[in-house]
Amino acid sequence: MATPTTPLWEVFIRSRNGLAHKHCGSLHACDATMALQAARDIFTRRGEGLSIWVVPSNAITASDPSEKGMMFEPAESKIYRHPTFYEIPEEVGHM
């Protein structure tokens, strides 16, 4: 009989005020409380954390890597979304 598995969680940490939470790894825990405590013990021993999010791994929906072309390439040709596409005379000043 295979050993029962403990649920997997993804961990996101906000390291400084104003920054976004960043994914830093995953861990195993039976419930959210244990996951939060484990995340604190594993990922914030060197003062790396102000805020922790733990999310069950199976709650995450990911884009399919094989669809990279369809998902992301169309944006590459829409250069009019970038400020550098537009020419503003220097006399107008900074815009």
Partner 1 sequence: MYTQALNASESDERQVEDAVRNAAFQARIDDEERIEPNDWMPAGYRKTLTRQISQHAHSEIVGMLPEGNWITRAPSLRRKAALLAKVQDECGHGLYLYAAAETLGTSREELVDAMLAGKAKYSSIFNYPTLTWADIGTIGWLVDGAAIMNQIPLCRCSYGPYARAMIRVCKEESFHQRQGFEIMLTLCRGSEEQKAMAQDALERWWWPVLMMFGPPDKVSQHGDVSTKWKIKRFSNDELRQKFVDATVPQAKFLGLTIPDPALRQDADGHWRYSEIDWDEFKQVLAGNGPCNRDRMAARRKAHDEGAWVREAAAAFAEKRKPRHAAQAAE
Partner 2 sequence: MAAPSIKVSETPLVLYLLRRADDALILGHRLSEWCGHAPMLEEDMALANIGLDLLGQARELYTYAARVEGKGNDEDKLAYLRDVRQYRNLLLVEQPNGDFAHTMVRQFFYSVFADLYWRAMMKSSDATLAAIAARSEKESAYHVRHSSEWMLRLGDGTAQSHARAQTAIEDLWAFTGEMFALDQAERALVDAGIAIDPAAIRPQWLMTISNIIGQATLARAKGDWMQQGGRIGHHSEHLGHLLSELQSLQRTFPGARW
Q: Which residues bind to partner 1, rule: CB under 8 A?
A: 2-6, 8, 10, 23-28, 30-31, 34, 42, 45-46, 57-58, 60-62, 64-66
Closest CB to partner 2 among 37 and 63?
37
**Other Cβ atoms closer than 10 A to 18:** 6
Q: What is the DSSP letter of 13?
A: E
> Pattern 25-64, binding to partner 2, x per CB under 8 A?
--xxx---xx--xx--xx--x-------------------
Q: In this complex, which beta carbon is closest to partner 2, that of residue 14 or of residue 40?
A: 40
Q: Residue 37 binds which entry of partner 2, partner 1, none, with Cβ cut-offs from 5 to 8 Å by kind?
A: partner 2
Nearer to partner 1 by C-beta: 25 or 88? Answer: 25
Complete DSSP assignment for 16-84? STTPPPEEEEEEE-SSHHHHHHHHHHHH-TTS--SEEEEEEGGG-----GGGHHHHHHHHHT-GGGSGG
